[in-house]
Amino acid sequence: MDRLNPRFLAVKESATLAINQRARALRQAGQLVCHLGFGESPFPVPPLMVEALQEHAGEKAYLPGEGLPALREAAAAFLRRQGHALQAANMLVGPGSKELLFDLLAILAGPVLVPVPAWVSYAPQAALLGKPFVPLATSRERGYRLSPETLAQACTAHPGPKTLILNSPGNPTGTIYSLEDLRGLAEICEREGVIVLSDEIYGLVTFAGGPAPSMATVLPSQTIITTGLSKAFAAGGWRLGLAAVPDALGALMAPLRAMISETFSAVSAPIQYGALPALAYGPKIEAFVERTTAIHRAASTFLFERFQALGLLCPRPEGAFYLFPDFEPHREALATRGITTGAALAEALLRDAGVATLPGEDFGMAAESLTLRVASVDYDGAEVLERFGKGAASDDLFPRLKAGADALEAFLGARTA
């Protein structure tokens, strides 16, 4: 169609949203055993947040584009408690961190460097902006973490201004960068003047407890943190995200404010009030985050152990709610069934075993890679929140995950026809 901007020809609907719709239809038809495809927090929104939202449902005035002043202050204080020297003036509120990442990518010059596998939206966002996207190879042996050598090579190949996106705890890998890992990368970023977008949307969902190490700790002047309500606070549909732009990158604030004012204007006022108790991070919210993270850990560990027993190669999950198993040891057996790509594997699993997953290819892996992205959240969050820690075993707490693992086992054990 000649009236379509060619930039939009190659962009398709987000893979995760598409699989979710297909899996939902199969579930309604009673044909889905387990939905390991979609990574949404299964828990109810903490009551303190719901009460604050209800109380402010009548707020109807437009708020300042950069956010409700009290929320910006609460968000800065939340990040100060994690050791970052940030003030309310450094904070921006947006309709999800996804939108803020897009706005930041729009404003920052040069290509965007991203270790792969990576979250599904970074590459399409770059494509929408006509921005070069540079995938950086990682290895399973290093938990799919970027190495300083690979980063240094990419910097040499792409001189001039550039942005690196780091996501830890990571989607799709479930792994975390240690402070030592980050120091090795920060040294190169500092030398090369690379701006880092530190996507910390899963920052509180760490199985070792406490916030995950942050690039902003070791490279504060060049790191922008993004985070939000979607994961630890279980309120993805509320659509509220945050960005912390350090003083040293203050020049970004004016164009960011301009983008906000010319696009979404401001995040819904009641939602910003509803977010206040989350960022204030009092004892009840902290207890909620700790308990739900312990459940994420139990669910991820349950699947990890089942995957190990099936001979899949998978880094041990350290946070978030994902695993990234590689079916490489089963390549020959799968090939006899005509399955030679991750996409064919995901398709066969959905069709023959009723288990929804996403192929590693959607996250930037080669088509032949037999990796899958598995989300460990197909259970009734409200029920598990009630029962967890009272003696029930994982098999019993997470029946659909168990059924999914059983179906996967049967699928792999299935003889060629």
Ligand X SMILES: Cc1ncc(COP(=O)(O)O)c(C=O)c1O
Choosing from 236, 329, 381, 399, the residue that interacts with ligand X (CB under 6 A) is 236
DSSP state of 222: G
Is residue 96 a contact point for ligand X (CB under 6 A)?
yes
Give the Cα separation of 365 and 342 in Å (integer): 9
119 binds ligand X (CB under 6 A): yes
Min dist CB 407 to ligand X, Å, is 25
Q: How far apart are the first and last CA of the chain?
A: 45
- Smallest gap from Cβ 31 to ligand X, in A, equals 26
CB of 371 to ligand X, least distance (A): 17
Q: Is 199 in the site for ligand X (CB under 6 A)?
A: yes
The arrangement of strands across the sheet holding 163-167 comes to: 91-94, 241-244, 223-228, 195-199, 163-167, 112-115, 133-136
Q: By CB under 6 A, is residue 228 in contact with ligand X?
A: yes
By rule CB under 6 A, what count of residues binds ligand X?
A: 13
> Is position 364 an interface residue for ligand X (rule: CB under 6 A)?
no
Using the rule CB under 6 A, which residue among 46, 241, 315, 404 binds ligand X?
A: 241
Q: If binding is defined by CB under 6 A, does position 171 make contact with ligand X?
A: yes
- Closest separation in Å from C-beta 390 to ligand X: 30
- Are the C-beta atoms of 209 and 165 separated by less than 8 Å? no
Q: Give yes or no for residue 201 binding ligand X (CB under 6 A).
A: yes
The residue sitting closest to ligand X, measured at its beta carbon, is 96
What are the backbone angles phi and psi of residue 35, rounded to the nearest 5°?
-100, 95
Pick from 15, 76, 55: which is nearest to 280 by CA? Answer: 76
Structure tokens given for 344: 């064919």
CB of 319 to ligand X, least distance (A): 11
- 131 sits near ligand X (criterion: CB under 6 A): no
Q: How far is the CB of 167 from ligand X (least distance, A)?
A: 5
Quote the tokens at residue 369.
């890679």
Q: Which residue number, 354 or 359, has a Cβ lying nearer to ligand X?
A: 359
From the list 69-77, 94-102, 276-284, 331-339, the region that binds ligand X by CB under 6 A is 94-102
Q: With contact defined as beta carbons under 8 Å apart, do 384 and 297 qualify?
A: no
Sign of CA dihedral 223, 102, 140, 296: positive
> Candidates 83-91, 96-104, 205-213, 409-417 — which segment interacts with ligand X by CB under 6 A?
96-104
**141 burial level (CB within 10 Å; 0-12, 13-18, 19+):** exposed
Question: CA torsion sign, 411 to 359 to 15 to 8?
Answer: negative
Residue 98 makes contact with ligand X by CB under 6 A: yes
Binding residues for ligand X (CB under 6 A):
39, 96-98, 119, 167, 171, 199, 201, 228, 230, 236, 241
